[in-house]
Amino acid sequence: MTPRSKPEAMLTSLAFDDLKKLSGNVRRQMIIAIDELEQNPRPSNSKRLVIEGETREIRRLRSGKWRIVYLVLDERSLILAIRRRPPYDYDDLQRLIDDAD
């Protein structure tokens, strides 16, 4: 797969800002991972995140030290955030979900 300068999946404005702040090699790595989510929003190396009261499917994809947090909407991925782990602890997850509405 050839990396593109911009991923094909939908990104929130916050996720797009996260992507722009990454260094070139990490940005390319994230774009490839996001493009793969376009083909398969539930890869085996992703994990469903359980949030009390939330009925939508929220997932996390690990890519090295980075995490892509996204919603699965009609078999398409909406990227909420791209964060480094550690120290990302998902404290802002509800706000990210609310902002996606």
30 is a domain residue: yes
- Domain membership of residue 64 as a residue range: 10-100
Reported pTM: 0.84
The model's pLDDT over 21-79, given as tens digits with 9 standing for 90+, comes to: 999 999 999 999 999 998 899 999 999 998 888 889 999 999 989 999 999 988 889 99
Amino acid of residue 41 = P
CATH number, domain containing residue 92 = 3.30.2310.20
3-class DSSP string for 66-100: EEEEEEEECCEEEEEEEEECCCCCCCCHHHHHHHH
Number of H helices and E strands in the chain, helices first, is: 3, 5
| 21: its two tokens | 């702040």
**pLDDT confidence bin for 4, thresholds 50/70/90:** low
C-beta of residue 67 within 8 angstroms of C-beta of residue 83: yes
Q: How many domains does the chain have?
A: 1
